Structure 1
Amino acid sequence: MSDTFAIVYSALDRVDEDDQLVEPILRLIPLSGVSIATLGDTLSPETIAASDEQIALLDELQFDLSEGPSWDAVGSGRPVLEEAVKRTGYDSWPSFTEALRDHAVGSIFAFPLRVGPLQVGAVELYDTEERTLDTQAVEAMMSLTRPLSRYVLRRTLELASLPDTAQLKPHARRRIHQATGFVIAQLGLSPDDAHLLIQAQAFAQNRSMSEVAEDILERRTGYVLRDETIEDER
């Protein structure tokens, strides 16, 4: 899988259109279908890309019912692996599982999309049969959530038409640059990802990047790594 994974990761890291998202994932994990959706505390529920109508319907059911594997993956920050969802899903998601009775869905696998502490959404795969994912496949999918999370969040911020940092006054730009350096030092992120995290935090809190930067520099907020997940620390 290593060669295929490298090709797929590189392809997703260069994606600039929604419809380019699904094919690389199915090339790596050849199940019946896949979707990428926003949901959680930060972004409104929306399917960004779906390989077929069935997986799009699974998203819609979860949006409408506010329950399902994707919600649990986003809330926990961990993958949810339902290898026989019609037989085992009732305890966790009774309404969602009941809605699956008339659909050819045997297994569902949901992986969280996050940028730092921000819930971005989930990538969900399904198969018409009961299937399992081995450890290698699960680890590969968790790695793929990194470029997917960045793409989905950047897409959201672009659609929100937020002001360009270059348009800010020099002092504000300098403070944001300094705060970006703090985040890089705390988390070991690339400069682009550290800047994106500050921008996303501002978007989620309906504040300016300058205000978030000041909180970081004055140590009123910060980020820590716990179990390979970045969390907000206040």
Structure 2
Amino acid sequence: MTRFNPHGWTGAEKTVTTDMNREQAITEAFVSLTDTLADDVDPLTLLRRLVEHCVRLTGMDAAGVMLVNARGRLQSVVVTEERVEITEIFQTQVSEGPCIDAYTTGRPVHADDLAADADRWPVFTPLARAAGFSAAHSFPLQLRSQTIGALNLLARNPAPVPPEDARLLQALAGTATTSVLTWSREPLRPYDIVTRTQAALSAKAVLDTAAGMLAASAHITPAEGAQRLRTYAIIHHQRPADVAEDLVRRHLTPQAVLAPTP
């Protein structure tokens, strides 16, 4: 039986929910999202697990998470594929789309068929469809009634979210949000929510810089650079954010990260 890999899912594991009991898969998803004590886990790792689980356990094809920055604007943090990040960035630029609405209202937003929502989001909808997506759903990320971002889900074909999946997605999002904000060993105070959200965004910026360094060194895409960084972190039992920090501060060379694994 294919087992859960706490560091993420590989292509060979894409059929996991058809090979194992769904209840077991859901249980393992929640366990992975509460694993905040491991030495190689950081907030970005938890959010990446969230989007991967959301795709694996539902009929959605892609997912991403956006967090609100210090200026009150949503910023893409993790995605399952680059096309999702494009749609998320565009939503922030034009201030419309399911993620924007979910964050603003604090309620889930559903578009089962984007072709029927051209009037709802006249600028976002054509871009999402051009990127190959025909349905979009978003759930707010909340803790203590404070919304810090949104979970974005996309499907290539028109697709509703069944009620049982909606409940699961909300539960996964809530668990991940709590884990991200309480990841630090220090007790969480009300004003720490903003501070820790910004820390996650700062870590994303450093990771992007480090991925760019790897991409330039190996003549690969930034997405491939980010994957190589995460692979290095897993092998060496380090947090991806720490590896990225070492790269940016020149404490670690791109060649060391890019070297073939023994």
Query: Corresponding residue for 1:127?
Result: 155
1:112 aligned onto 2:140:
yes
Counterpart residue identity of residue 88, structure 2: D
With CA pairs under 8 Å and 6+ residues apart, which has the higher RCO, 1 or 2? 2
Equivalent residue for 1:95, pick from 107, 123, 138: 123
Query: Corresponding residue for 1:143?
Result: 171
Counterpart residue identity of residue 193, structure 2: A
Instruction: Percent identity, please.
Output: 19
What TM-score do the two structures reach when normalised by structure 1?
0.62
- In structure 2, the CA distance between the partners of 1:105 and 1:9, relative to structure 1 (3 Å rule), is same
Whole-angstrom CA distance in 2 between matches of 1:67 and 1:138: 22
Q: CA deviation at 1:49?
A: 0.8
1:5 aligned onto 2:33:
no
Whole-angstrom CA distance in 1 between matches of 2:83 and 2:27: 28
Whole-angstrom CA distance in 1 between matches of 2:171 and 2:196: 25
Whole-angstrom CA distance in 2 between matches of 1:42 and 1:146: 23
Any idea what SS the aligned residue of 1:94 has? coil
Any idea what SS the aligned residue of 2:132 has? coil
Q: CA deviation at 1:82?
A: 0.9
Equivalent residue for 2:35, pick from 3, 6, 14: 14
Whether the 8 Å contact between 1:120 and 1:153 is mirrored in structure 2 is no
- In structure 2, the CA distance between the partners of 1:123 and 1:101, relative to structure 1 (3 Å rule), is closer
Query: Corresponding residue for 2:192?
Result: 199
Whether the 8 Å contact between 1:65 and 1:95 is mirrored in structure 2 is yes
What TM-score do the two structures reach when normalised by structure 2?
0.56
Aligned-residue CA RMSD (Å): 2.8
Flag the structure with higher strand content.
1
1:131-176 per-residue CA deviation (whole Å, 9 max, x = no partner) reads 1211100000011111222244457xx7xxxxx97xxxxxxxxxxx
Whether the 8 Å contact between 1:81 and 1:110 is mirrored in structure 2 is yes
* Equivalent residues, number: 168
- In structure 2, the CA distance between the partners of 1:58 and 1:122, relative to structure 1 (3 Å rule), is same
Whole-angstrom CA distance in 1 between matches of 2:177 and 2:149: 8
Whole-angstrom CA distance in 2 between matches of 1:30 and 1:42: 34
Counterpart residue identity of residue 27, structure 1: R
Whole-angstrom CA distance in 1 between matches of 2:117 and 2:104: 17
Stretches of structure 1 lacking an aligned partner (at least 5 in a row)? 159-163, 166-191, 205-234
Whole-angstrom CA distance in 2 between matches of 1:146 and 1:101: 29
Whole-angstrom CA distance in 1 between matches of 2:167 and 2:175: 14
1:60 aligned onto 2:89:
yes
Counterpart residue identity of residue 91, structure 2: Q
Equivalent residue for 2:79, pick from 50, 56, 62: 50
